[in-house]
Amino acid sequence: MIIKLIKTFLLLSIVFFSSCVGTSYLQKDEKLLYKQKIKGNENISSDRLEDLYRQKANRRILLLPFSPFVAIYELGKAEYDAEEIQKEKENTQAKLSSKIEQARNNDKFNKATRLERKLNKKNQKFNTKLEDGNLFMRWGEPLAVYDSSRIEDTKNQMELYLESKGYFDSEVDYTVDFRGVTKKHAIVTYHVKENSAYRIDTIFYDAGDDKTIMSVLIGSKRNSLIKVGDVYEQSKLTSERERIENIMKDNGYYTFSRQYVEYNVFRNPDTTALGLEILINKPQGLSKHKRYALDKVNFTTDVNTLIGGLKRTSEKFNGIDYSYYNYSYRKKVLDQRVFIRPGEYYSLENTLNTQRQLANLDMFRFVNIKYDTAGGDFIANIFTSPLEKFQLSNEVGVNVNVTFGLPGPFYNVSLKNRNPFGGVEIMELSGRIGYEAVATLSDQTNVTTATEARANLGFTFPHFLFPLGTTVKSKFALLNPKTKTSVGFNFTQRPEYERSNLNGSFGYSWQNKKRWIYDLTVTDVNFIESALDSTFQQLLERESRFGGQLSRSFLPSFVSSSSITVSKNFNNYGQAKSRASYLRLFAETGGNLLNINAINESLNQDSLQYFQFLKASIDYRTYIPYGKESTFAYRFNVGVARPYGRFSEDILPYEKYYFAGGSNSIRAWAPRRLGPGSFVETDDEGNFIYNFEQPGEIILETSFEVRRNLINFLDGALFLDAGNVWTFADDAENPGSQFKLNEFYKEIAIGTGFGLRIDFSFLILRFDLGFKLYDPAREPGERWTISEWNLGTRQNYGPALNIGIGYPF
């Protein structure tokens, strides 16, 4: 064991010291590109210019003067032999190819298929090694040997980029400073002189004598990406050329392309003003561009389906010719998702909308739309291939309890039935069963198990189930409308209690042209029944703190509500490599029918508990990449929930409360154990304990996180979380829990820490270690806790380990 530790230490020492002396890898007369800087730029960001580097310096950690990535690469390179890998690849191919041929000769085709898959995987591994090196070489990076020609190329690229941004009189130069004991560290400084930017003061179109095209261009001018007064920018001209192409194609010009759009720029030598002419060139050999109108639309619903001896049936509906082997889909439902019609001009937008909305039905393996101009007619052909009617999916996995780090298995199963009634609807029957390690409500340190089981039957219809005419439904079809209804049963078993919930819901979802997504739940009803363990029952009676909350939450209850969720993903948040954001607005009202006097007066709370409440929340997230490998992300979440009416007695259904703490909240506190306000449970000796979940009616959370790629699949993060929950009413049993405008900001808990994220491509495994930085439960003046940090896993100010899947936000 000691020898193994010594070897590990020596390896790390080699990595450290060899990376400090990176020049030791240089050949004679070679220099190390140590650093590059940009100076003088005022309007163009350095990040944009740094992207133009034709040669990049080696990455360093925290700006220290060494790069371990180079040492890692060199360690791998020392053991790398491309010729040996090539020989091994050829030998493996020969062996497996022989086995594949032998299996085929013996009619063992399944075995041959398995061997072919194995051969493909082996080839991929060998190709990766030959192209990118071994594992250490892929984790590291080769030494950046200074190359003067590439530095000159960078200078030229910067000049071209500045010109493309309208700085036609800009100048770029560079200086190289060789530093270090041996003068082998090259520091390159690029000196940028932008001078004045040129602006567009005149824009005019020229389409010759084609008045139709001129009217299209003038009519869409308000949407132009180029405006008078803008700084000249080449990328905008490129985007405008694409916009003009799409506008033309939306107005019948099927064969039009961006190559017909030409720009003429007129510069005044005495000013920085530009005149811009947008010229539409004519097709070669023709006097004008042809405008296409559809003569016919064909829709084949079952491409790639072969039924011997049968011919497809043809049927015309609303001007479209449908053909199929078997009648499967109601034509009036499909017709709502088709936006191209005979007699109308060709439209690229309508074509894409048709393809998109048919794909949204989840009925077809593919949707292709092809246009045929042969024979003098202009014909649209819609081809779809049906997905399997029945789709069974299974998922087996393990949940890791955040508090104890213990695994709990789960199994999900789902059976999807497409088009069960011929109306292009989807029926889905799903179920889940899982086991999890949990803390008892009375003792957070006591590990026990919980069983969760649920079953759900849902139906999704591709339109609004509402008394609307076919014409109106067709107009709504662009919104991807859906009606969702479901009925389900949830069951939870813990040592303390058993809880069952029969629920049903009905609602609509749609999406507008600006990609706002709306989910309206018209009604969501829940019948809740609980059976308590005698010990737990005694605990509820003894704990007066929970007498007004938990005790009622375990009584037979009827909870009904209506809600709406409005959300938008800006610039592909969660997957984008550029700045992106996500916004979610939520509002819910519960017990609406109880506001009707006739219903209100006829209900008796002796048999069921009823609730009336209002709830709303706003969740905003932003993701900002910066530098080369780093990202800054933050989240802001605020929500309120307020009971009202005589039935509620100032109590919410337990599931409608807000909770703070845990892997996706304030990570320095245990899940759902923070707050409310400055309140905290204490034992007989006055020590803080976190045995119970802490519900609140108001929540305020914000998180800031800096993420950086460390090595290939491994990312690191530093985070700062802040927030808490509060109650509206003053509670003598929970002093400090009430939200007060002049006090709440002093009760915002703050936690900080760091984390590692392992990217397996199909999932991201996250480990976050959080420390309490500001604890509002302490006396004023003693709430900053950094001096009490320790490494004890059970101490109040020791690290809190959070294990999660995916990013926290």
More confident of the two residues 540 and 330 = 330
- Domains of the chain in start order, with CATH, are 2-144 (no CATH), 199-280 (3.10.20.310), 296-386 (3.10.20.310), 657-809 (no CATH)
Q: Is the pLDDT of residue 546 over 90?
A: no
pLDDT digits (tens, 9 = 90+) for 278-295: 999 999 988 999 999 999
Q: State how far the Cα of 220 lies from the Cα of 93, in Å rounded to an integer.
A: 60
Overall average pLDDT of the 562-569 stretch: 95
Q: Which residues contact 376 (CB under 8 A, 6 or more apart)?
A: none
Do you know the residue count of the chain?
809
Please give the single-letter amino acid code of residue 649.
Answer: E
pLDDT of amino acid 444: 53
pLDDT of amino acid 765: 84
Q: What string of DSSP letters covers 358-425? A: HHTTT-EEEEEEEEE-GGG--EEEEEEEEPPSEEEEEEEEEEE-TTT--EEEEEEEEEEEESTTSSS-
Q: What string of DSSP letters covers 217-279? A: HHHTGGG-S--TTPBP-HHHHHHHHHHHHHHHHTTT-TT--GGGEEEEEEE-TTSSEEEEEEE
Overall average pLDDT of the 166-172 stretch: 95
pLDDT digits (tens, 9 = 90+) for 366-383: 999 999 998 889 999 999
Q: Is the pLDDT of residue 62 over 80?
A: no
More confident of the two residues 594 and 253 = 253
Dihedral, 729, 733, 736, 742 alpha carbons, nearest 10: 30
Q: Is the pLDDT of residue 416 over 70?
A: yes
More confident of the two residues 519 and 78 = 519
Q: State how far the Cα of 675 lies from the Cα of 722, in Å rounded to an integer.
A: 12
CB 474 within 8 A of CB 518: no
Q: State how far the Cα of 720 lies from the Cα of 722, in Å rounded to an integer.
A: 7
Overall average pLDDT of the 529-537 stretch: 80
Ramachandran bin of 525, using left for φ above 0, alpha for ψ from -120 to 50, beta for the remaining angles:
beta
Q: Is the pLDDT of residue 691 over 60?
A: yes
pLDDT of amino acid 712: 75
Q: State how far the Cα of 509 lies from the Cα of 153, in Å rounded to an integer.
A: 53
Q: Is the pLDDT of residue 318 over 80?
A: yes
Q: State how far the Cα of 344 lies from the Cα of 380, in Å rounded to an integer.
A: 11
Out of 114-118, 306-310, 391-395, pick the least confident: 306-310
DSSP class of residue 462?
Answer: S
More confident of the two residues 473 and 191 = 191
Q: State how far the Cα of 418 lies from the Cα of 534, in Å rounded to an integer.
A: 47
Q: Is the pLDDT of residue 297 over 60?
A: yes
pLDDT digits (tens, 9 = 90+) for 570-606: 888 877 678 899 999 999 999 887 777 667 666 666 6
How do strand 580-590 and strand 630-643 relate by DSSP bridges? unpaired
pLDDT of amino acid 550: 60
More confident of the two residues 519 and 650 = 519
Residue at token pair 């649209």 = 380
Q: Is the pLDDT of residue 407 over 80?
A: no
The pair of structure tokens assigned to 210 is 């084609």
Question: Where does the pLDDT of residue 17 fall: very low under 50, low under 70, confident under 90, or very high at 90 and above?
Answer: very low
pLDDT of amino acid 600: 67
Residue at token pair 């909350």 = 549
Out of 242-251, 599-608, 716-725, 763-772, pick the least confident: 599-608
Q: State how far the Cα of 502 lies from the Cα of 770, in Å rounded to an integer.
A: 38
More confident of the two residues 561 and 651 = 561
pLDDT digits (tens, 9 = 90+) for 472-525: 777 788 899 999 999 999 998 877 788 899 999 999 999 987 789 999 999 999
pLDDT of amino acid 64: 62
Question: Where does the pLDDT of residue 42 fall: very low under 50, low under 70, confident under 90, or very high at 90 and above?
Answer: very high
pLDDT of amino acid 65: 65
Mean pLDDT of the chain: 86
Q: Is the pLDDT of residue 18 over 60?
A: no
Overall average pLDDT of the 565-571 stretch: 92
Q: Which residues contact 703 (CB under 8 A, 6 or more apart)?
A: 634, 635, 719, 720, 721, 722, 808, 809
Dihedral, 361, 364, 367, 372 alpha carbons, nearest 10: -120
pLDDT of amino acid 10: 47
Q: Is the pLDDT of residue 123 over 60?
A: yes
Overall average pLDDT of the 390-417 stretch: 75
pLDDT of amino acid 285: 86
CB 188 within 8 A of CB 202: no
Whole-number Cα distances in Å, 166 to 196, 236, 716: 9, 11, 39
Which has the closest alpha carbon to 52: 166, 144, 155, 148? 155
pLDDT of amino acid 397: 67
% of the chain residues with pLDDT over 70: 89
Cα–chain center distance at 712: 20
Highest mean pLDDT among 19-33, 347-361, 666-680, 698-712: 347-361
Overall average pLDDT of the 122-140 stretch: 89
CB 481 within 8 A of CB 464: yes
pLDDT digits (tens, 9 = 90+) for 696-734: 999 999 999 999 888 778 889 999 999 999 999 877 677
Q: What string of DSSP letters covers 149-206? A: HHHHHHHHHHHHHHHHTT-TT-EEEEEEEEESTTS-EEEEEEEEE--PPPEEEEEEEE
